[in-house]
Every structure is written in structure tokens, then in C-alpha cells.
Amino acid sequence: GNLRGFAKVTRDITQRKQSQERRELEMLRDAVRARDEFLSVASHELKTPLTPLQLKLTALLRTVENNPSATLPVERISRDLEVARRQVRKLSDLIEDLLDVSRISMGQLRLDRAPMDLASLARDVVARYAPQSAQVGCVVTLEAPTPTPGHWDRSRVDQVITNLLTNALKYGAGKPVHIRVRMEAGLAVLSVRDEGIGIPMEDQPRVFERFVRAVSERNYGGLGLGLFITQQIIEAHNGIVQVRSAPGEGSTFTVMLPPGPDLPPEPGAGAPPE
């Protein structure tokens, strides 16, 4: 009886070990699949800007070689250079995103906080993207009724607003984009609303994960890093970022930022009351 019991226990342990090994193997396969898929998407995204870049540079070289005199078609040259510059910018943005992801995973995302106003930064970003917005036929409005002061890392918050605005332009189907900045319950709140393609319900909780892109948006290009980086920046500021979206109706991304730690008083502001 004891022996039979012992054999059964041994069999149970063996079976449990085998199913654990199967699970581990399955997880390893998933990880390898995810890595291969990322490598393929990343190589594709990094290669895409290179084709127009190469074409334009070759064309420019030919033009200059064939026109040793002063008869260069300046207008076409400057158009081609603009295309080339845009593609180089795209590549450097992609590489910067990849570097940010490795900084984040090594815990090296440092904040350089200083007093600033969220609404005026949003105004700067909207102005910077005015040409790009016009190009996709999109009207961007900004509503900022009150000042929204806080101590944040200006360039990182700029990156957040830029990510949300460029996504709204990319997925917004050329329809209006509305940005609202306000104070609510002591928090600075910024929301970016578009009326574009929206995000399927099942993808909404995952769009902030790295390398995740909503299934229906595969043909738009992108590495799926912008929202991951956005969330990490906001959380480093002890804030929250959320999405509300309906397919075919549009998306609203909302960022809530606490004003941040008090900085030393401005010189000449006087000692705080006892």
C-alpha cells in the first residue's frame, strides 16, 4: 500500500513538473515571437524613411552635377531638401524613442523640474505643429481658461503633449482636434480629443504597454512606443494618463498632473510665516 502510494505521489510530481515545463516553454516561445515581431516592425519602420531620403539625395546630387553653372533649380532643390530633412527627423525621433525605452527599463528617466505653465507649453506645441496640422487638413483648437502652474520637467511634458497631439493628427482622420487645459481639484488636467478612427474596447487597456499597437491601426506605421513613454513620464511626475475612446467616433487622452514638490521660494519672496 505504501509503495503504491509512493508511486502515485511520484507520478503526480512528474506530471506537475512536466506541465510546468510545458508552460515555461510556451512562455519562452511567446517571448521569442514578440522579440522577432518587434525586430521586424522596428527594421521596417527604420528603413521606411530611408527610401525617400536616398531618392531625394540622389536626385539632388544629379541636379548639382548636371548644372555646374548658376542655373540651379533652387525651388526644386529646396523642396527635395525639405523632404530629406523630414525623413531624417523621423529616423532620429524613432531612435530617440528606442533610447527612451532603454533609459526607462534601466530606471534612468530623470526629471529636471522647474516652475512652468502647462497651458502655455500646450500653446507652444500647437503652434509648432501648425504646418503639420494644416497639411492633414486638421484644425486644432486650444482652450485654456486659467493659468495651470506647476513644477514639471518642461522638455518631458513637451514630449507628452507632442505625442498626444501627433497621434491625434495621425489617427484623427483630418477632423478637428480639441485640446483643453484646466485646473481640477488641485491637479493640472490636459486633454486631447480627436474625432478619428478610435480604439477598439479590447485594445484600450493595452495601448500604454510598450510595442502595443491597436490591431486595426497596423497600416498607420509606428513602433507603439509613444504612449508607453508618455505614461512613464506622467507617472514619474506622480500623475495619471487615461484614454476614453469609441471606434469610429474618436479618442480623448487625459493627463492629470499634481503641481509637484514646492521649490525654494523665489529670491525676495520673504520668509514664510511662522
> Is residue 199 involved in binding ligand ADP (CB under 6 A)?
yes
Half-sphere exposure of 54 (CA within 13 A, CB side): 5
Helical ranges in 146-200 per DSSP H? 154-171
**Of 33-41, 46-54, 154-162, 213-221, which part binds ligand ADP (CB under 6 A)?**
213-221
Give the number of other CB atoms < 10 A from CB of residue 175: 15
Q: Is residue 161 part of the contact set for ligand ADP (CB under 6 A)?
A: no
Is the CB of residue 68 less than 8 Å from the CB of residue 107? no
**Does residue 213 interact with ligand ADP by CB under 6 A?**
yes
Of residues 214, 233, 241, 256, which one binds ligand ADP by CB under 6 A? Answer: 214
Interface with ligand ADP: number of residues (CB under 6 A): 21
Cβ within 8 Å of residue 203, ≥6 positions away: 212, 214, 215, 216
Q: Residue 260, interface with ligand ADP (CB under 6 A)?
A: no
Query: 4 Cβ partners below 8 Å, 6+ apart?
Result: none
Structure-derived torsion over alpha carbons of residues 4, 8, 14, 16, reported in degrees to the nearest 10: -170
User: Does 190 participate in binding ligand ADP (rule CB under 6 A)?
Assistant: no
- Asked if residue 109 lies in contact with residue 232, where contact means CB atoms within 8 angstroms, the answer is yes
Residue 217 contacts ligand ADP per CB under 6 A = yes
What is the nearest approach in angstroms of ligand ADP to the Cβ of residue 95? 14
Contact segment (CB under 6 A) with ligand ADP among 7-15, 65-73, 81-89, 192-200 equals: 192-200
| Interface with ligand ADP (CB under 6 A), residue from 87, 152, 188, 222 | 222
The residues that touch ligand ADP, with contacts defined as CB under 6 A, are: 163, 167-168, 171, 194, 196-199, 207, 213-214, 217, 222-228, 251
